Amino acid sequence: MLNKPNNKTSNSSSRLSGKVRHFFERSPLYGMTLRKKMPDGLLRVPTDPWPGDIRTARALLEGAFPIGHQMISLNDFLELLTPQKNGPMTELDWIHGFDWLRDLRSICTNSSRKLSRHLMNHWMEHNQSSSSRCWLSASWRPDIMGTRLANWVSLFDFFGSSADEDFHRAFMSSLGRQYHHLMRSYADISDPIRRFRALKGLIVCACSLYGDSDIILFLLKDLEKTLQKQVFSDGGHKSRSPVLQLLTVRDLIDIRSLLRGMNIKEPPFLQAGITAMAPIIRLLRHNDGEMADFGDAQFPMKNEGGGHYYSSSFIDMVLSLSDVKGRPPGRASDMGFDRLSSKLGTVLINTKPLLFNRTNQHDVSSHGEPSTNIMNFEWSFGRQRIVHSGDVMVQLSSGLWIRAEDQDDSNLDLERQTKDGHIYWMGAHNQFFRSQLAPGVGYHHQRQLYLGSEGGDFRGEDVITLSESGIVALRFVFAENTQFTQLSNKIIKVSVPPQAKITKADAKNNNRGCWRLITAGCQEIICQDEGKPEGNEVEKPGASLPTLFLMAKLKKDKRQTIKWAFRQETE
């Protein structure tokens, strides 16, 4: 039986124990310590209610594996299932975390079960060799391992109930090795997001393998501390990632359900965490049922390559199982998002510098996005996402880009008024840069937004002041296949393609995706189709979707005002 960690161990002895273990892990002999006697089978299999992506499952069965934005063959995928060095987090997570098992379960045929076991056998054959010290590879990274263990146990009925004894023995042996290694190593994780994922896997295994209440309660106490480090007082996730907000609530629901199935009294922090975080999911949700992403490249809401798509039905299920009712709040001050919502229109606004996918401030080459990184928005009307991103780009005459730095709230003033269903919003951002890349540069941006009561009238005014000369571009990114027709040097017709989710009610409300963008104060309008710039004199990294740019020059210490308005076409 596994001995639970000793709470009374001193910090110095814990560090010493960790150093000894790290030294021992470099020896192939460490693998022998992971070969412990295992139960003949799982004591219980948790319920996994979450839907998979049937499109990804069909691609897998046809031998096409979605990695990033490309499809690879079965042989290439098998190669990626071998021990890997460090790689892109999203790819490693999806491949070695086995989230794709849930996709295969969505079809739930003998073919999908056989493919699941084939891929799992391949992983087990190549990822537990003592001679290769597999536990040092990225595929055994504690957070990935925690996800893998939770998926293996929770989805066992799908792939394991019809398996032969050889597979069962190999499965239980591999499960035990990983579980015992993770129990030893997870405490080394300082990042609360990764530690949380490791702990979920440990709790699922502890409940399903041994049912030892002492170990389970110890892990739950650690989970509570880890959760507290991740969540703001308003219930928002400190990563400011909508995806992590969603997945953290899902994981808490899973653990709560598992404890209830074992008749273990659930600790209060589980439901308290769910109750605090679920309303923020509603705040960050568009009318099409899906979540905002605000350019979260690390945890994208949609990845056309597959593997990272969280459908509206998935979000519905998370909110339903959360047992938290109510309307979305209008603001999450700590997390830094505002929501404007009228009859048919929804605008989600980022009010703090985004934390994810960031490296060096102002260095476009390091993050690929020259946006100022604050007061950007997403806009939907009815069940259509119109503007996927509305942001501001400011380039100094030296070629450097302005990008909001981490700051306290005193640098951003927010106001909001509602009258007869009409919503007025204003944000003013001030920044004096002290970094070496933009020393002594002062920047002021005031953005005003208006959303009409019916949602078909959306306007904005941006006032930018810079302490040196430069250029500004208001950037509006639209859905794929959006078409632009320039009616004059100030007016653009925007035709957003219809979506499958458009209902008869939407059609009745003239929701046909045809809009007129009226501008004032900009010196040039640039229409860029997907990956095809036209007449653009300013570099625009990362603009692959249909995009409109409202351009203007900035003179030193002079206010530049650009006004714009989207009006729905009624013809």
pLDDT at 499: 67
Q: Residue by residue, what is the 3-state secondary structure of 63-98?
A: CCEEECCEEECHHHHHHHCCCCCCCCHHHHHHHHHC
Instruction: Give the tokens for residue 118.
Output: 């084939």
Task: Identify residue 40 by its one-letter amino acid code.
Answer: D
Burial 321-356 (b: 16+ CB within 10 A, else e): bbebeeebbebbbbbbbbbbbbebbbbbbbbbbbeb
- The burial of 210, by beta-carbon neighbours within 10 Å (0-12 exposed, 13-18 middle, 19 or more buried), is given as middle
CA distance 16 to 24: 12
Per-residue pLDDT at 424: 97
Sign of the torsion formed by the C-alpha atoms of 136, 142, 146 and 148: negative
Answer yes or no: are the C-beta atoms of 564 and 519 closer than 8 Å: yes
What's the pLDDT at 344?
Answer: 92
pLDDT of residue 111: 96
Look up residue 488 and give its DSSP letter: S
Mean pLDDT, contiguous 10-residue spans, the chain (571 residues): 42 48 65 76 92 90 83 89 68 88 94 96 87 77 95 96 94 92 90 96 94 92 97 95 94 96 93 98 94 69 48 94 95 96 95 62 43 92 92 91 70 91 95 70 95 93 96 93 92 84 50 85 89 42 76 96 93 54
What is the predicted pLDDT for the residue at 26?
A: 63
Residue 19 has phi, psi (to 5 degrees) of -65, -40
DSSP H helices, 186-294, are 192-205, 213-228, 242-261, 268-283
